[in-house]
Amino acid sequence: MEPAPSVSSWAEQVRAFAGTFAADPDIPSEWASQILAQAQYNARVKRLMTPAQGSTSTVRDWQGYRARLVSPARIDAGVQFWRRNQQVLQEVQKQWGVPASVIVGIIGIETSYGQNVGNIRVLDALSTLAFDYPQEHPRALERAAYFRKELEQFLRLCRANGLDPLSITGSFAGAMGIPQFMPSSWMLYGEDYDSSGGVNLLTSAHDAIASVANYLRAHGWKPDQPAYFNIDLRQTTAAQMATLLAPDILPTFDQAALTALGAQLMPSGQRYEGQMALVELKNGENPPEYIAGTENFYAVTRYNQSSYYALAVLQLGEAVQRRFDLLQPTAAPAAPVAASSLPTDAP
């Protein structure tokens, strides 16, 4: 592992970066310099971002991953979160067209409904990655530039929302708050839903709910559309499977194309007219599982570029909604969520 930068090198880069705000009307240069001078190098952040030596691939285990994230404790916490925020979830679903279950699933996976938002000072995490990104990464220069932009956006959002940049904590990558937004996402998609005068993703569940919905809608979520389907691949040849898997999670095939390649959706998905991708979920040494992911499945992967993450989000939200509906005194179900429901019919 390469050593930490020297104190003089660190200070020089920080001073140079602070100087970029000299002509910025929104960020006082003196304030930026004062804040950035208090940034501290965090070796743990760099270590967590450094690729493991000799690692070329990761053995995935979807069932193990799902068991950790779609757990009874997280489902119970999700029901409580839904109860506390039921009216806002309904309003946001109506306004943005994103199902309450998907929003609840994302917030549950990201921070267990605000219980685990990260304990690393964001200023330190972003500064470390902006000025000393691990050189082992194949795109180190590009990633360092990305984190310099995020550091700039972090200062802007703190000024715009009256936040103290020295006290905000988050993930080792600089994600913050109940929905774990990066600074640029906070600035672009954050919603002041409770009209407090500023976007508060640190403690406002209402702002977090609306911001997640706004983010997904901006990244292609289509209201009243499914997110994924079960699929029958028993008639698919090895060559056809290779063709189906080539686009990865990018929706590429319509119903006719899937059928031509030997793949068959279950009856509940055969009326869908949009584009889909064959999504492979590996199970370690056991056979993989497959689903057909739609444009809405792909939209969830814009939050975190992992098919495992997206399916865990959707299935956690579904599990929470089922439990929530069962516990309602009137037994009246919540608004239907065809957009994230996995059919029960099996191949």
Active site residues: 110
Taking the C-alpha atoms of residue 279 and residue 308, their distance in angstroms, rounded to an integer, is 9
Structure tokens at 126: 């972003």
Query: In this structure, are residues 98 and 343 in contact, taking their beta carbons and an 8 Å threshold?
Result: no
**Number of other CB atoms surrounding residue 99 within 10 Å:** 31
If phi > 0 it is left, if psi is from -120 to 50 it is alpha, else beta; for residue 262 that is left
The DSSP-derived string for 139-155 is THHHHHHHHHHHHHHHH
Closest by Cα among 97, 104, 98, 93 to 70: 104
Taking the C-alpha atoms of residue 213 and residue 91, their distance in angstroms, rounded to an integer, is 11
Taking the C-alpha atoms of residue 230 and residue 318, their distance in angstroms, rounded to an integer, is 15
